[in-house]
Amino acid sequence: MKTYKIACIPGDGIGKEVVPAGQQVLQALAEGQNNFRFAFTSFDWGGDYFRQHGIMMPDKGLDELRHMDAILFGSAGDPHIPDHITLWGLRLKICQGFDQYANVRPTRILPGIDGPLKRCRTEDLDWVIVRENSEGEYAGVGGRAHQGHPIEVATDVSMMTRAGVERIMRYAFRLAQSRPRKLLTVVTKSNAQRHAMVMWDEIALQISQEFPDVHWDKELVDACTARMVNRPASLDTVVATNLHADILSDLAAALAGSLGIAPTGNIDPERRYPSMFEPIHGSAFDIMGKGLANPIGTFWSCVMLLEHLGEPAQARRLMQAIETVTANPALHTRDLGGSAGMQEVTDAVCQFVQKIDQRQRAA
Ligand code: ATP
């Protein structure tokens, strides 16, 4: 029997609620199966750890994760700690330390979910946004001088490398090629940013020659926001820089109904290190401890985790259970206009996961 070693890092806020819910669902999936099981190891890194130790995770923390098969992450963010410390001290440390250069964000309007776009049919919105996750605007290059003086200066330099752009373009073209429409939109801003973004466009053209069957186009990031709202069906796979995709994917999540539903995977496509899966929402301290968090974003992230582990049938089973639950308005959490609690939704997904298994065995 295969044992998948899964590191669980709940982090802060509602991350501490949705990650255990994700574990419960994965456990339900493994129950009664004789070909695989999960071994979970939890890490208490995040804001509370920072208050005790002055760092978000131990210096040698990456070594504790290195031999895991995957990481399930909650969120990092604490109202009492500056955001750049929580982000750089934990999430980015793992993403960059493990060179998880492809951040993949699928968006669909799940059954039963009422999106905010009036004229958008469910089938019109089926996107995967690929975010460059290792450099660009988040390269960490920059600094401050003359602090506290009138001539104070601060810079954040967006840094793009040919190798970094080539690998994310190749990943995005390959992903687009694997989807039925074989359609890729390359998001750019080369009209205003005339160095790195022009190289980005040139490399997109170069890599496109390796994928003659993929239809692709280029869109300025500002125009892309309008296109997402006005012509959602014209998009399928989208690739964008670290910052652009960060913003576009929050818009995508809102257009699909709620931030609480959207999943993401931080992938090392070469599988040198473990990849990390997490809901895209943050720590949401306003609803923490109330049992109100929507766990669907975490469950969908578990679907991505299962796909990455090479368990497509289990991934489909979990996605089917999720869609059965979202189709029932009585099982909607408050962010979706319902009144169900997180535990109720979690128990329902676990029940369906087991029912689907029984049905498949009986067939
Ligand atoms: P952070 O600083 O960590 O990014 P945040 O609270 O500023 O956290 P988010 O957590 O992304 O930002 O959430 C914004 C709002 O969306 C929250 O205040 C919360 O009300 C709502 N929200 C986010 N995630 C969920 C969820 N899983 N279930 C229900 N509501 C959610």
Q: In this predicted model, what pLDDT tens digit does every residue of 192-233 receive, in sequence order?
A: 999 999 999 999 999 999 999 999 999 999 999 999 999 999
Q: Does ligand 1 come within 6 angstroms of the Cβ of 282?
A: yes
Write the residue with the smallest CA distance to atom 13 of ligand 1: 284
pLDDT bin (cut points 50, 70, 90) of residue 52 is: very high
Backbone angles phi, psi at 181, to 5 degrees: -85, -15
Please give the domain boundaries of the chain with CATH numbers for all domains: 1-101+276-363 (3.40.718.10), 116-255 (3.40.718.10)
Residue 328 has pLDDT above 80, yes or no: yes
pLDDT bin (cut points 50, 70, 90) of residue 358 is: confident
Full DSSP string of 244-295:
HHHHHHHHHHHHTT-TTT-EEEEE-TT-SS-EEEEESS---GGGTTTT----
Residue 120 has pLDDT above 90, yes or no: no
Q: Does ligand 1 come within 6 angstroms of the Cβ of 257?
A: no
Q: What is the pLDDT of residue 198?
A: 97
Do the beta carbons of residue 136 and residue 168 sit within 8 Å?
Answer: no
Mean pLDDT of the chain: 95
Do the beta carbons of residue 258 and residue 336 sit within 8 Å?
Answer: yes
- Closest by alpha carbon to 189, among 219, 150, 154? 219
d(CA 16, CA 86): 15
Q: In this predicted model, what pLDDT tens digit does every residue of 65-110 receive, in sequence order?
A: 999 999 999 999 999 999 999 999 999 999 999 999 999 999 999 9
| Type of residue found at 180 | P
b/e sequence 88-111, b meaning 16+ C-beta within 10 Å: bbbbbbbbbebbbbbbbbbbbbbe
Do the beta carbons of residue 125 and residue 108 sit within 8 Å?
Answer: yes
Which helix H or strand E contains 314, and what residues bound it? Answer: helix 312-326
Q: What is the pLDDT of residue 356?
A: 81
Write the residue with the smallest CA distance to atom 14 of ligand 1: 284
Q: What is the pLDDT of residue 155?
A: 97
Q: Does ligand 1 come within 6 angstroms of the Cβ of 263?
A: no
Q: Does ligand 1 come within 6 angstroms of the Cβ of 44?
A: no
Ligand 1 probe mutation, 287, 294, 332, 342, most atoms within 8 A of CB: 287
For residue 13, the CA-to-ligand 1 centroid distance in Å is 9
Q: What is the pLDDT of residue 6?
A: 98
Q: Does ligand 1 come within 6 angstroms of the Cβ of 17?
A: no
